[in-house]
Structure 1
Amino acid sequence: MTFVEYQRVGAVGTITLNRPDRLNAMTADFLEDALLAFTAAADDPHTRVVVLTGAGRAFCAGGDLSQGPGGAVGGVGTLQQQTDRLRRFMRTSQLLHDMPKVTIAAINGACAGAGLSWACAVDLRFASETARFNAAFLGAGLSGDFGGTWLLPRLIGAARAAEKYLLSEPFDAQEAQSIGLVSRLCAPEELMNTVNEVAERLAASAPIALRHIKENLRDSSSTSFEVALDAEAARHSYCVGTADAAEATDAFLNKRTPTFQGH
C-alpha cells in the first residue's frame, strides 16, 4: 500500500495523504512515501499547481504516537542518527515551501502537529468548516518539527504563534480563518471542488509570472526591503520579455482568453 499518492490531471498535481484509518498520521513508511510523492510533484515538468489533501476525515494528525515517543523518528539509533533521519523527512516541508509551483492545502479535517507544519508550508490554505487544528507538540512532550515554529509566526504573527505552540489548545476552522491561517472556508462537500477550481484557474495563468510571484512572496520574510526591491525589479523585468507577457497583452487588447506556454 502507498501511504502518500501523487497524481496529475492536466497541469494540476494532487498529493493525497492516504492512511485514513489513523487520521493520516505519520510513520516512517508514510514519510518515505511522502518524500517520493512530494519530490515527484516538485520535479514534474507538466505540473503548475500542487494540491495537498488527506483521505478520509482528516488532513494529517501529525506523528503516530503509537510508534512510540517522537512517532516515526524516535527511539532508533543514536541521537545524531535520529536527528539526521528527522531532518531528511523534514525535506518534505522544504519541497512544499520552495518548489517552483503554487501549492494549496485542502484541509478536510484534523490538522495537528507536523500536519499543521505541512499546512503552513504551502502557499494557500483552504479548509472545511469542520476542520480542527492544534500545534499539539507540547502535549506529546515534544518541541515541534517540520518547520512549524518558523512558518506559523510568519503567517499569523509571533504572539499568536507562541500561544498556539505554548498553550497547545485546539482551535476550529473559524478561528483559523480569523487569525489568517486559512484564507477560505468551505462546506465539507464543496472543499475539493473549490480547491480544484482555484487550482485550474492558477494552472491556466502565466507560469513564469506565477513562479516569480511565489519567489517574491517567499523571499519577503527573509530579506531587507532594498534587497526585495532589487529581486522584484529583476523578476518583473524578466517577465516583461516573455512570450507569455506578450500573449497576455494581446489577449487583453483583443478581448480574448490568453493561452500561456510558459516561455
Structure 2
Amino acid sequence: MELKVTKYQIDDDGVATVWFHRPGRGNSWTNLMNSEYRWIMDTLDKDPKVRVVVLTGTGNQFCVGADTKALNFYTKTDENYADTVDASEAAQPGTGVNPEFETDVIWHWGLRLPVIAAINGACAGIAAAIASFCDLRYAAEGIKFTTSTPRLGLPAEYGLSWILPRIVGTTHAADILFTGRIVYSEELQHMGFLNGLFPRETFMDEVYKVARMIASQVSPASVTSAKRQMYGELLHLHPRQAIDGSKEIIGHFMRQPDFQEGIAAYNERRVPKFGDPVIGDSITGERQATEDRSATPV
C-alpha cells in the first residue's frame, strides 16, 4: 500500500514505530488514515521479527481528532455516519481472537503485539479512544487530552464510555466524558490513565527504553498469551475460569523452548534469548478465542 498520511519503520531490535503523519493538519484523522493505519498494524502483526509497536504522531502532536473538513461535511449531509466510515473493505487486524474485538479501535486487543501509545502532543477525539485501547500509554509533560465530543454536541465515541471507567474509574471517567474539558498529562498520570510521564526533551528516548526492554527481555509468546487472557477476562466475571484456564496455558508453555531459555537465563544471571513468535499460535489465539466466546459478557 502507498502510504500518504501514515508511516512506519522497524528497527533491528524488533521495535516498530508507527506515525500518524499529517503534520500540517495536526495529524488529524481521516478515512484514508484509518485504512492506512489498519494495513500497517495488520502487516506488523504478521511479521515475526516485530516484537512491539510504538504509536506516535509526527512533530509535536499525537492526533487532534477528526479532520475539521470532515466534521463540517456532516453538518451539510443526510448520509448515515456509520455508512461513511465503513471499514469493511480495509485490512482487518486482530481478527480470529474474540468477536468482541472485531470492530473499530478495539481491534488493537486482538493483535498479538503489545502496542504502546507514545502521546507526544495534543490527543483529542478519536485519538483519545485509540490511545485508550492501546496496551500501554506514556505521555510527555504538558500535553493536552480531550474527548471534545460534549462541546461538539456529540455522545461519547468509539467505546470511551466502556473503556475509560475501566482505566480511571467512574468518577474520573464522568469528569472527562461529561465536560469534554482539556486534561493535561500530569492529571492523566494522577488519574491512572498513563503508565508513565516523561519530559518532552527525552520523551521518545524513555518510551523506546520500555519498548526495547519488551522486545529483548520477554518471551513474545508469553506477552501475547497474557494480552489475550487479560482482555478476554475483562468481558466476564469468572475468576475460577481465569485461574483454571491459566493453568492449562501454563502447562503448554512449560513444554516450550522459551520456558527452558527463561529458566536457564535466570539461573545464569543473563538476558534471555527468546525465539521469534509463531504467528497464529493456537494456544495464544484460537483456544483463547473459544474460551472467550463461551464467556458471559458484563
- TM-score calculated relative to the size of structure 2: 0.80
Correspondence for 2:242: 228
Letter in 1 for 2:220: P
Correspondence for 1:19: 22
1:1-263 equivalences in 2 (<5 Å): 2-10=4-12, 11-69=14-72, 75=77, 77-78=79-80, 81-82=83-84, 84-85=86-87, 91=103, 93-204=105-216, 205-223=218-236, 224-262=238-276
Identity percentage of aligned residues? 27
**Distance verdict in 2 for CA 1:174–1:154, change over 3 Å:** same
Q: How much has 1:5 moved relative to structure 2? A: 1.4
What do residues 19-69 of structure 1 show as CA deviations (whole Å, max 9, x unaligned)? Answer: 111111112222222222222222222211011000111111111122234
| Equivalent pair of 2:63/2:122 in contact (CA under 8 Å) | yes
| Equivalent pair of 2:16/2:50 in contact (CA under 8 Å) | yes
| Equivalent pair of 2:39/2:90 in contact (CA under 8 Å) | no
Counterpart CA distance in 2 for 1:50 and 1:141 is: 34
Letter in 2 for 1:219: G
| Equivalent pair of 2:116/2:137 in contact (CA under 8 Å) | yes
Counterpart CA distance in 2 for 1:126 and 1:17 is: 16
| Equivalent pair of 2:29/2:65 in contact (CA under 8 Å) | yes
Q: Secondary structure at the match of 2:105?
A: helix
**Distance verdict in 2 for CA 1:156–1:137, change over 3 Å:** same
Identify the structure with bigger relative contact order (alpha carbons < 8 Å, sequence gap 6+). Answer: 2
| Equivalent pair of 1:107/1:125 in contact (CA under 8 Å) | yes
**Distance verdict in 2 for CA 1:140–1:248, change over 3 Å:** same
Q: How much has 1:139 moved relative to structure 2? A: 1.2
Counterpart CA distance in 1 for 2:139 and 2:82 is: 37
What do residues 139-190 of structure 1 show as CA deviations (whole Å, max 9, x unaligned)? Answer: 1222233332222121111232122111111111110000010111111121
- TM-score calculated relative to the size of structure 1: 0.90
**Distance verdict in 2 for CA 1:86–1:259, change over 3 Å:** closer
RMSD between aligned alpha carbons? 2.5
The number of residues matched between the two structures is 262
Unaligned runs of 5+ in 2: 92-101, 278-298
